[in-house]
Amino acid sequence: MNPSNENELTQAVLERLSGATDPRFAQVMGSLIKHLHAFIRDVDLKPDEWMNGIQFLTAVGQACDDKRQEFILLSDTLGASMMVVMLDQARAMAKDRARLSATEATHATVQGPYYWEGAPEQPLGANIAEGVVGEPTFYSGRIFDTAGQPLKGALLDIWSGDGEGNYDMQIAGAGMAARARIRTDDEGRYWFWSIRPSYYPVPVDGPVGRMLDGMGRHPNRPGHIHMVVSATGHVPVTTHLFVANSPYLDSDAVFGVRPSLIVEYESHPAGQAPDGRVMDSTYWSAHYDFHLEPQAA
């Protein structure tokens, strides 16, 4: 059928999905069409505004290369990435609740663009940020399952920016820094040294930066250290630890803060640290236990 007015148009477009062979694809596209049409009607989108939108999305695509993913940044800053992360974890947790677990799994948050696969595996207690600008911090805790059993040999794949908010990947030609993979001991314990990360802005020299500016938004993320926590037979969690009292904890540009991930960094004078290392300057410590849910059978 040919629509004779805008009221018939949405139905006409939806009917063209009748030949789709993948039902999930048809469901996703159907909902997208309905919401897109409703949005255009809601704001009564004018042709020049529609063209601006096309040009904006074109610029987002053109800003992408093998190091930069402006579409993910767009998704992050519009809260779409966190919506997907939260729904995914809520779905998994609903299954876990059916097993009457003692604890919830550690909350997940966005991965962000600075994950670099293949960080070196380092021994427990290693300083993973040797030579990196920033205040030394002793990180420790344990990894448990959601029934409270410690997970031996669980993996923390860790990365962060430096104490001034710069990631190694942002520095042309730089190798890996402040990244490592660390495995827990027989009692599920981990400990390592790194730095206390600073807040920093997401990249703003592209179309997403202009969008944030137009919205009157700042581009900053509060100080955080990233990790993917995994163990055989368990659902991995991509998460961060956020530095308590960091600026922007209440207004993360990518909506990634979850209160359960905010950690107090305790200040210590120079002297012997908990792992026996003798520090000749003040240092920080941060303690956090992670929980992973067992993989569904």
Q: Beta-carbon neighbour count of residue 98 at 10 Å?
A: 9
The nearest distance, CB 221 to ligand BEZ, in angstroms, is 5
**Nearest residue (beta carbon) to Fe ion:** 112
The position carrying tokens 């579409």 is 71
261/273 with CB nearer Fe ion? 261
In 3-state terms, the chain is what percent helix, strand and coil (to 5)? 30, 25, 45
Q: Which of 188, 125, 117 is nearest to 155 (CA)?
A: 188
Q: Does 73 bind ligand BEZ (CB under 6 A)?
A: yes
Q: Does 227 bind ligand BEZ (CB under 6 A)?
A: no
Q: Does 234 bind ligand BEZ (CB under 6 A)?
A: no
151/180 with CB nearer Fe ion? 180
One-letter amino acid for residue 116 of the chain: W
| Binds ligand BEZ by CB under 6 A, chosen from 70, 76, 157, 168 | 76
Site map for ligand BEZ, 92-131, x if CB under 6 A? ------------------x-xxx-----------------
60/243 with CB nearer Fe ion? 243
Non-local CB neighbours of 191 within 8 Å, separated by 6+ positions: 124, 125, 138, 139, 140, 141, 274, 275
Between helices 70-77 and 47-62, what is the axis angle to 10°?
A: 120
Binding partner at 254 among ligand BEZ, Fe ion, none, C-beta below 5 to 8 Å by kind: ligand BEZ
73/286 with CB nearer ligand BEZ? 73
Q: Taking a C-beta distance cutoff of 8 angstroms, is the pair 202, 73 a contact?
A: yes
Applying CB under 6 A, the residues found at the interface with ligand BEZ are 73, 76, 110, 112-114, 202, 221, 254
